[in-house]
Amino acid sequence: MSVDRPIARALLVAMDDVCAAGRSSARSEALLAVSAASLDLTLEEARRDRTSIEDAVVSPDARRALVDALVIAACIETEVDAPKERVVTTYASRLGVRSPWVALLPALRRRSVLTIQRALVSRSPDGRRVFSRLWSERGVGGLLEAASFVAGLHRDPPLAARFRALSSLPNGTLGKAFFDHLDQRGLTFPGEKGGLPERMIHHDLMHVVNGYGTDPAGECEIAGFYGGHASKMGEPQWFTFFVTALATFHLDLPVSPSIVTPARGAFDPARVMPAFLRGRRVTTDVMGAWDYWSLLPQTLEESRARLGIAAEEHA
């Protein structure tokens, strides 16, 4: 990952400071090792050439990204303890950063589910985009459609039939793999009662394209992928994907929809960081209005190439 050396050293030293506070284990060591490798640094080098973080990190955007990254270190031990929280808060203060995720650390430590849910829902890039598209494309009718989804009343038989027809595509195509993904997991198809809104199926499509599982570790990978992709697209709330994964699948908090089963300890930096970098290389805005239907008859390899995911990068 290309990061200016002074910023890279400052980030790694700050990450080390957070990991060293409070409880520490192999999880913290793994996070530091992955961070160092991604930044093309060693921890010894970062410590040796340590400079004032205020001088090393000048850009407001870089300061915010650095402070948000420290939230991962605060959560990595599968709980947030007060010493780690204090170190992150100190860094945020020194850099003049007001991050909603640093402000959320006390709620994560106390396991205050409703407070965490409100923070995640209000900043969800995907949710905001869906409602924005519905409004711009259909106005009030789009909002009524969204309400019908929430109430489980939405039906679109032609759309459901179109998705069901993907079963006839040859093995090895994205469309057949996507059909199998939904069918084998007992997921309802778009257009059917309780089915996913079509504008949100990109999540499951990206599971298939990337080869990520739907177990907690795979969901953390897809969160890393979307975090990288959203950051490349200039989405200011891209870190929401990371906090959602950390809260749900690493801290074992029931803050996601009820169909999602929370877990503890599934956030693996060695898997999430490559997913983040892969997401930053995607050349199509997969959260936007893109023509995924044109990819479904293609092979998985062709689909990855179209999206900017090289064959050797997929899981």
**Does residue 63 sit in the same domain as residue 166?**
no
Whether residue 291 is contained in a domain is answered as yes
Q: What are phi and psi of 313, to 5 degrees?
A: -90, -20
**pLDDT tens digits along 19-39:** 999 999 999 999 999 999 999
Confirm if 78 and 252 have CB atoms less than 8 A apart. Answer: yes
**pLDDT tens digits along 41-79:** 999 999 887 788 999 999 999 999 999 999 999 999 999
**Does residue 248 sit in the same domain as residue 308?**
yes
**Residue of 229, 205, 216 whose CA lies nearest to 281:** 229
**Does residue 255 sit in the same domain as residue 136?**
yes
Whether residue 117 is contained in a domain is answered as no
**pLDDT tens digits along 221-258:** 999 999 999 999 999 999 999 999 999 999 999 998 87
Whether residue 116 is contained in a domain is answered as no
**Does residue 276 sit in the same domain as residue 302?**
yes
Residue where a domain stops, chosen among 63, 82, 110: 110
Confirm if 267 and 245 have CB atoms less than 8 A apart. Answer: yes
**Does residue 89 sit in the same domain as residue 142?**
no
pLDDT at position 151, please? 46
**Does residue 261 sit in the same domain as residue 133?**
yes
Residue where a domain stops, chosen among 110, 143, 162: 110
- How many CB atoms sit inside 10 A of residue 117's CB? 16
**Does residue 309 sit in the same domain as residue 236?**
yes
User: Structural domain of residue 59, as residue ranges?
Assistant: 5-110
- Lookup: tokens for 178: 């996507």
Q: What are phi and psi of 173, to 5 degrees?
A: -85, 155
**pLDDT tens digits along 261-288:** 999 999 999 999 999 999 999 989 998 8
pTM score above 0.85: yes
Whether residue 212 is contained in a domain is answered as yes
**Does residue 217 sit in the same domain as residue 77?**
no
Residue 299 has pLDDT above 50, yes or no: yes
Whether residue 80 is contained in a domain is answered as yes
Residue 302 has pLDDT above 80, yes or no: yes
- Lookup: tokens for 225: 């992928």
**Does residue 129 sit in the same domain as residue 183?**
yes
The C-alpha atoms of residue 108 and residue 78 are separated, in whole angstroms, by 10
**Does residue 222 sit in the same domain as residue 145?**
yes
Whether residue 120 is contained in a domain is answered as no
**Does residue 182 sit in the same domain as residue 280?**
yes
Q: How many domains does the chain have?
A: 2
Residue where a domain stops, chosen among 58, 85, 110: 110
pLDDT at position 174, please? 97
Start-to-end CA distance of the chain, whole Å, equals: 19
The C-alpha atoms of residue 224 and residue 216 are separated, in whole angstroms, by 12
**Does residue 131 sit in the same domain as residue 79?**
no
Residue 215 C-alpha from the chain's centroid: 15
Q: Provide the residue count of the chain.
A: 315
Whether residue 185 is contained in a domain is answered as yes
Write a three-state SS string for the chain: CCCCHHHHHHHHHHHHHHHHCCCCCHHHHHHHHHHHHHCCCCHHHHHHCCCCHHHHCCCHHHHHHHHHHHHHHHHCCCCCCHHHHHHHHHHHHHHCCCCHHHHHHHHHHHCCHHHHHHHHHHHCHHHHHHHHHHHHHHCHHHHHHHHHHHCCCCCCHHHHHHHHHHHHCCCCEHHHHHHHHHHHCCCCCCCCCCCCCHHHCHHHHHHHHHCCCCCHHHHHHHHHHHHHHHHHCCCCCCCHHHHHHHHHHHECCCCCCCCCCCCECCCCHHHHHHHHHHHHHCCCCCCCCCCHHHCCCCEHHHHHHHHCCCHHHCC
Q: Over the Cα atoms of the chain, what is R_g?
A: 20
Whether residue 115 is contained in a domain is answered as no
The C-alpha atoms of residue 218 and residue 211 are separated, in whole angstroms, by 9
